[in-house]
Structure 1
Amino acid sequence: MNDNPRVIALPRDQRLPGNGGDSLATERPEVTRVLRNTYALLSLTLLFSAGVAAAGVAFQWPAPGLVLTLVGFFGLLFAVHKLQNSGWALPAVFALTGFMGYTLGPMLSHTLALPGGAQTIVTALGATGATFVSLSAYVLTTRRDFSFMGGFLFAGIVVALMLMLAAFFFQMPALALAVSGLVALLSVGLILFETSRIVSGGETNYVLATVGLYVSVFNLFTSLLSLLGMGGDE
C-alpha cells in the first residue's frame, strides 16, 4: 500500500448565500473578478505543483511520510488563511501547492514502476481535467446553489480522514482503495460546492478560492490514480 497519504481539507463554510436569478456572474463585476483571478492562480499553482512533482520523480525524492505530510499541509494551510489579505498570501499559496507537488512525486514514481504506469497517470490526469471542467461549466451556466451539500461534505471528509488513518496504520490495502473512492466522490462535491460559493458571491477572496479548488483537484487526481493503478499493484 502506498505510504504517501493524500490530504483532505474541510469546507470552510457550510452556509452559502442564495443565488437567485439576479446573481449572474456577468451582472456582478466582483464575482467576475474573483472567478478570473481564481482560475488564473489555479492554473499557475497546478503548473508549479506539476513541475515540483516531475522534479521529485526525476531526482527520486523520498516520500515525506504521514507525519510530515499532515504537519506540512495543515501548517501551510493555516499560514495561507492567516496571510490571505497580505502581500505574503501568494508566496504562502505557492509554498503549499509546491509542498503538495513534492508529496505527489513519490506516488508518481510508484505508479510508473507498475505495468502500464505511464498510461495510468495520463488516464487519471485526463479524467481529472475533464471532470473539473465539466463540473465548473455546469455551475457557471446553471448557477445552481450547492450549499445544501456542506454538512454532508463535512461529515464525509471527517469519516474519510479517520478511515485513511486506519488503513495506513493497520496496513489494509482494500480499505485504502475504498477510501480513494470515497475521496473521489467528496472531491467532486467540493468542486461543485466551492465553485457555487464563488458564483453566488459567498467567497470573495480568490486566494482561498484557489486553495479550495486546488485541494479538491489534487485529491481527485490522487484518488483516481490509486483506483486506476490498483490492477498493477500487489
Structure 2
Amino acid sequence: MGSFDFVTFFFFVAAVIIFIQLRSVLGKRTGSERPPREQTARREQAGTEGGMDDPKVVTLPRRGRENVEPDMFAAVDAYAEPGTELNEGLREVVTADPSFTPQEFVGGATMAYEMIVSAYADGDRKALKGLLSREVFDGFVAAIDEREARGETVRSNFVGIEKANIIQAEMKGTEANITLRIISQLISATLDKDDKVIEGDLVDVTDVNDVWTFSRDTRSKDPNWRLIATEADQ
C-alpha cells in the first residue's frame, strides 16, 4: 500500500457533499460576518475507538526504525528549512514512520478538512466518528444537536482552500501530531427554522482561518489520522 489508499478514500469522498460548511467550529472569518466559534478542542487524543468506520484520510504504512536512511529526510528538508524546529519535528515523524512525507500529508489533510466540514454541516455523525478523536467528536455532536434543536440549517458552497501549511510537528511517544494552518474560502449562510438568514451571506465569499491538529499512532495497524484539536487562527 502507498501513502494513500486512494480507492477507499475517493469512494468515501464520493459519499460526502463537499459544498457544506462547518459552522461555529471553524475559526475566524474575515468580513462583516460575526465570527462563529463553538468549540476549541484541547490538543489531546482520546484514542481510537473500536468498531468505527475508518475512511482513509492519510495512510502511513508501518515500517521499522531500522529502515531510516539519510535520503528519507529529503522531502522534509525540501518542505522545512533544516535546523528549524519544524524540520526537526518532521524528521522525528519520518524516523517513526519512513513512509511519511509532508507534501502528501498536506494533500490528504486538506481533503479531510473538506470532508469534516461537510459531515458537520450535514449532521453526519457516522462520517465524523471515523475522522475525529473522541473528545472532538463529542464536541461536534453536541453542536449538531443544539443546531438541530433550534431548527437551523446551513447553506454553503465550499469555494476552495487558498493555503494550507504544516506549522508544527511532534512525536509524543509513538503518536505523531501534525498541526496545519488552513485558509479556506466559503459562501455560507445559516438559516433559522423560517428560512431567514441569521448569520453569513448566501452570495458573498468569506475567508475562514483555522489551525487543526491531526494525530496517528505510528505503530498502530490503523493507517488513519484523526482530528484531535481545532482552534481559530488569530
Output the TM-score relative to the length of structure 2: 0.28
Higher relative CO (CA 8 A, sep ≥ 6), structure 1 or 2?
Answer: 1
Output the TM-score relative to the length of structure 1: 0.28
From the two aligned structures, give the one with the greater strand fraction. 2
